[in-house]
């Protein structure tokens, strides 16, 4: 219970220079519900605008309004801009923009073999995390006293933190898969993985999205999944690449898992995110199989690899490849989104009057739409874009 206390989150936000602008009456009602002598009353008064003197800093709105829920949140005061930008960066390490740039960058410029396997791990970690959220159904930390610095995922459940899960799985899986394959100091790799993990986890508390218990559980849950999945990667990869049945299983199994997830609970943005993640993983896995069949496989040989010397030309080449590749992915996403969403709404006779947001809350639209669109994006990450580069 102690680690779930929203006042712990609010206290941490206060230390980091985040102050709420809650109405005075609301803050007083929350204070009244706390027993005196616990420290909660003083905290809420200090965190509310207009109580305890003038507040330094500037008022800002929560990050990214959710276009599906329309929830924009309430203004808050930021007194420490450095921490605000640091933890905003940390929380972005678990958002779609990061995934759509980081995974392709590693795949196109560093090591496609490692990138493909990290995506497999990421898919399982995120799927199990999202399903566990819906099964447990724990709500986000109460606001007030917590300040919602981010609103995009506020409609989802909180336990465990899937940001903490991905922030644990990705850096440590990357460290595990590259250690011995690429030449770099062990201490450097471990330090980067730990720093990445800590930054993401702390950022979720700063954003007011999770309690300490949510974050700790996410780290432990992800670690357990890594212990089970990493030793099985070789067998899974061999099946995906060489089995004649793998294309059918690659398409059908993730879709069935997404369908199961959609039936766990009422509508929330997490259902679409789950279908999106599974679709991406299916697309990448299918492209891996197709590349091998067509002789396009670009996996490096199994020897110790050294990083090339950093140079301006190398930087420009990597940047150009990333820009062109991401542009292709964004175009793929836009075209497939328009085609798929329009077709599904017409076939199912939903979204009348142009209300696409309401139509997307139907499983019959959201599941195939997300799965097909991001499955195509995932396929092009490993098939079409490298083909263009060649």
Which tens digit of pLDDT belongs to each residue from 123-140? Answer: 999 999 988 888 887 788
Residue 33 to residues 42, 142, 222: CA-CA distances in angstroms? 13, 12, 35
Beta bridge partners of 348: none
Specify the pLDDT at position 159.
84
Specify the pLDDT at position 81.
84
Specify the pLDDT at position 28.
46
Whether residue 166 contacts residue 277, with contact meaning beta carbons closer than 8 Å, is answered with no
The model's pLDDT over 11-46, given as tens digits with 9 standing for 90+, comes to 888 888 877 766 654 444 444 444 444 444 333 333
Give the pLDDT band of residue 192 (cuts 50, 70, 90): very high
Low-confidence winner among 69-73, 188-192, 276-280, 300-304 (lowest mean pLDDT): 69-73
Percent of the residues in the chain that have a pLDDT greater than 90, as a whole number: 22
Summarize the confidence of residues 96-112 as an average pLDDT. 87
**CA 190/CA 254 separation, integer angstroms:** 32
46 or 79: which carries more pLDDT confidence? 79
Specify the pLDDT at position 22.
60
Summarize the confidence of residues 182-195 as an average pLDDT. 90
The model's pLDDT over 268-322, given as tens digits with 9 standing for 90+, comes to 666 778 888 999 999 999 999 898 888 877 555 566 667 777 788 888 988 999 9
pTM as predicted: 0.79
What's the token pair of residue 255?
Answer: 């879709």
Give the pLDDT band of residue 55 (cuts 50, 70, 90): very low
Strands 76-78 and 58-60: antiparallel
Residues 6+ apart with CB under 8 A from 89: 199, 203
258 or 61: which carries more pLDDT confidence? 258
Please name which of 115, 144, 126 lies closest in space to residue 7, comparing C-alpha atoms.
144
Q: Residues of 51-87 as b/e, b for ≥16 C-beta within 10 angstroms? A: eeeebeeeeeebbeebebbeeebbebbbeeeebbeeb
Summarize the confidence of residues 116-129 as an average pLDDT. 91
Residues 6+ apart with CB under 8 A from 228: none
The model's pLDDT over 194-232, given as tens digits with 9 standing for 90+, comes to 999 999 999 998 888 888 888 999 999 999 999 998 988
**CA 222/CA 240 separation, integer angstroms:** 23
Give the pLDDT band of residue 142 (cuts 50, 70, 90): confident
Rounded (5°) CA angle 133-138-144: 130
Give the pLDDT band of residue 368 (cuts 50, 70, 90): confident
Give me the active site residues, please. 163, 210
Whether residue 140 contacts residue 158, with contact meaning beta carbons closer than 8 Å, is answered with yes
281 or 350: which carries more pLDDT confidence? 281
Specify the pLDDT at position 193.
94
What's the token pair of residue 23?
Answer: 């109405």
The answer, yes or no, to whether residue 69 has pLDDT greater than 70, is no
Low-confidence winner among 62-71, 174-183, 254-263, 349-358 (lowest mean pLDDT): 62-71
Residue-level length of the chain: 390
Q: What is the DSSP letter of 390?
A: -
Q: What distance lies between CA 207 and its chain's CA centroid?
A: 14
Percent of the residues in the chain that have a pLDDT greater than 70, as a whole number: 77
The answer, yes or no, to whether residue 156 has pLDDT greater than 60, is yes
What does pLDDT average to over the chain? 79
**CA 380/CA 384 separation, integer angstroms:** 5
């Amino acid at each position: 219970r102690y680690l779930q206390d929203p006042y712990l989150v609010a206290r941490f936000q206060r230390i980091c220079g985040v102050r709420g602008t809650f109405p005075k009456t609301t803050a007083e009602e929350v204070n009244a519900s706390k027993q005196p002598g616990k420290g909660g009353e003083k905290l809420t008064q200090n965190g509310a605008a207009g109580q305890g003197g003038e507040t330094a800093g500037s008022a800002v709105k929560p990050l990214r309004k959710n276009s599906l829920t329309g929830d924009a949140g309430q203004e808050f005061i930021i007194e420490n801009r450095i921490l605000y930008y640091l933890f905003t960066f940390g929380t972005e390490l678990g958002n779609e923009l990061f995934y759509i740039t980081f995974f392709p960058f590693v795949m196109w410029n560093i090591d496609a073999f490692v990138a493909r396997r990290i995506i497999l791990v990421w898919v399982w970690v995120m799927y199990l995390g999202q399903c566990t959220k819906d099964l447990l159904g724990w709500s986000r930390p109460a606001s007030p006293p917590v300040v919602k610095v981010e609103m995009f995922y506020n409609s989802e459940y909180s336990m465990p933190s899937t940001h903490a899960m991905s922030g644990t799985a990705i850096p440590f899986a990357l460290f595990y898969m590259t250690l011995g394959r690429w030449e770099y100091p062990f201490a450097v790799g471990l330090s980067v993985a730990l720093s990445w993990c800590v930054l993401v986890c702390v950022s979720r508390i700063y954003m007011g999205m999770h309690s300490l218990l949510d974050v700790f559980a996410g780290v432990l849950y992800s670690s357990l999944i890594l212990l089970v999945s990493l030793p099985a990667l070789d067998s899974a990869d061999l099946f995906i690449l060489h089995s004649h049945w793998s294309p059918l299983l690659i398409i059908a199994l993730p879709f069935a898992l997404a369908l199961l997830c959609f039936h766990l609970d009422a509508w929330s943005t997490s259902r679409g995110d789950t279908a999106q993640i599974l679709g991406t993983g299916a697309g990448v896995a299918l492209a891996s199989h197709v590349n091998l069949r067509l002789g396009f496989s670009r996996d490096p040989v199994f020897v110790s690899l050294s990083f090339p010397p950093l140079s301006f030309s190398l930087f420009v080449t990597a940047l150009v490849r990333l820009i062109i590749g991401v542009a292709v992915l964004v175009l793929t996403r836009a075209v497939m989104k328009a085609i798929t969403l329009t077709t599904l709404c017409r076939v199912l006779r939903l979204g009348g009057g142009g209300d696409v947001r309401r139509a997307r809350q139907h499983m019959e639209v959201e599941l195939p739409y997300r799965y097909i669109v991001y499955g195509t994006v995932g396929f092009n990450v490993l098939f079409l874009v490298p083909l263009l580069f060649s």
